[in-house]
Amino acid sequence: MNPMLSRLSFRTAGESHGTAMVAVLEGLPRGLVLDVAAIDAALRLRQGGAGRGGRQRIEHDCVQVIGGLRRGRTIGSPLCLLIQNRDATIDDLPEPTRPRPGHADLAGCCHWLDRDIRSTLERASARETCARVAAGAVCSQVLTAAGSSVFGFVRSVRSATLRAELGVPPLGLLPAEWRTMRDGSRLYTLDAAADAAMLSEVQEAGRRGDTVGGIVEVVATGVLPGLGSCAQWHERLDARLAAALLLSIPAVKAIEVGDGFANAARCGSEVHDPIEPDPSGGAPLRPTNHAGGLEGGMTNGQPVVVRAAMKPISTLREPLASVDLATGAAAAAGYERSDVCAVSAAAIVAEAMVALVLADATLHRIGGESMAEFVSRLGEFRAAIAAQVFGASVDRKKGPDAP
Ligand code: EPS
């Protein structure tokens, strides 16, 4: 059981240049009709984006479902997803001795008390995120059944940034054209001018043998209110999202919920999203969403908005200073084939990890061992919110449980 999940359990295995990457996802309801083509589409997206390295020309990631599925439907047993590596040369690769600043190389030596950089980097490699994307694409399909949708895109690459108002959705569903725009852009962003500026950043860094990072954003719409909890630190959904984004994406070093960092420089009256009555008697309206859809560790029915900042990839063609662990002498850091920019891939990985956390929170709150039971309970939950929280039938002075 992962400490940051309540119902689902999720693990991956596999080395970057081993036989395959594997994800095992447990806790899914029985009867989910699995769209394998949608998983493969997400895997293809993860491989794309300007600035990706030569490895992506070798691999053609596609999923093999090797457990948990019968006649195209989940059966409630662990779902095992396998993605074959075409470059499976792990036993023939050289033994690096010059740790790269910013990579796991040196810290791994201290952790395992050896100089076996290869064994560390094989697992630290961002290739592992293909297993996360496959599992996240399954979770997105659970969320679709609950009327929720998760969408990741690139907000900035180095200093090239998408205009602030683009990407903050109005209440309700995401504009359909966003997905088309993202998938047709070079950097998985939402505006042609920003895309061109980001591309120049990548190309310029590539020419210099350097790398660039950036910021990815994930927006989830149609999310049920009341998911997560304020009762324990690890049950707060903000904590789980932060852990999922920081833990899942190798170069991510900061995350933000809603207008997190900007809110710190504003007054409360500017930051908190007013609650207004709905003239048609439904859930109250929130004219703004500075909170990013989370209050007190729980969803509030607004779109969930999170951002993750990715540092530039640490493998540099023009390497930084390091030490050769074999001799103790100063030496340039090692270089292995890598990416100039992997921010676009990170947007897809972030989307997957947010889908994992939200699917877990939804399944935990709603319950149900089969999809039919889950969907029926969803209806009951929505009806209960309408009647017991906002309904006109509630005696507002006494509350819904009044005798
Ligand atoms: C990656 C595969 C790796 C790297 C990259 C991401 O393949 P290879 O090491 O064979 O070139 O391109 O990994 C890293 C950036 C890293 O730091 O390890 C992938 O499939 O995402």
Residue 93 lies in a domain: yes
Burial class (CB in 10 A: 0-12, 13-18, 19+), 280: exposed
List, run by run, the mean pLDDT of 10-residue segments along the chain (403 residues): 90 98 98 98 98 96 98 98 98 97 98 98 97 98 97 96 69 68 95 95 97 96 97 96 90 96 96 94 91 97 96 96 98 95 98 98 98 98 93 59 55
CA separation, residue 48 to residues 30, 56, 78, 127, 199 (Å): 33, 8, 29, 13, 13
Name residue, tokens 């049920």: 224
Q: For residue 116, which of 325, 323, 334, 329 has the smallest C-alpha distance?
A: 325
Residue 219 lies in a domain: yes
CA of 116 to the centre of ligand 1 (A): 18
Domain that holds residue 55: 9-258+293-366
Residue 395 lies in a domain: no
Note whether 138 and 10 are within 8 A (CB): no
Residue 55 lies in a domain: yes
CATH no. for residue 362? Answer: 3.60.150.10
Residue nearest to atom 20 of ligand 1 (CA): 127
Compute the distance between CA of residue 301 and CA of residue 284 in angstroms, rounded to an integer: 10
Residue 213 lies in a domain: yes
Residue in 44, 125, 248, 315 to alter for ligand 1 test, most ligand atoms within 8 A of Cβ: 125
Q: What is the DSSP letter of 235?
A: G
CA of 345 to the centre of ligand 1 (A): 11
Residue in 43, 92, 127 to alter for ligand 1 test, most ligand atoms within 8 A of Cβ: 127
Q: How many domains, in total, are found in the chain?
A: 1
Q: What is the DSSP letter of 92?
A: G
Compute the distance between CA of residue 96 and CA of residue 221 in angstroms, rounded to an integer: 45
Residue 384 lies in a domain: no
Q: For the chain, what is the radius of gyration of the CA atoms?
A: 22
Compute the distance between CA of residue 240 and CA of residue 297 in angstroms, rounded to an integer: 9
Q: For residue 353, which of 218, 221, 229 has the smallest C-alpha distance?
A: 218
Q: Which two tokens stand for residue 203?
A: 């190309």
Residue nearest to atom 4 of ligand 1 (CA): 338
Which residues does ligand 1 sit against, CB inside 6 Å? 16, 53, 55, 87, 125-127, 129-130, 313, 315, 336-339, 342, 345
Q: For residue 58, which of 97, 26, 84, 39 has the smallest C-alpha distance?
A: 84
Residue 378 lies in a domain: no
Helix ranges (DSSP H) in 208-289 = 237-248, 260-263, 268-271
Residue 40 lies in a domain: yes
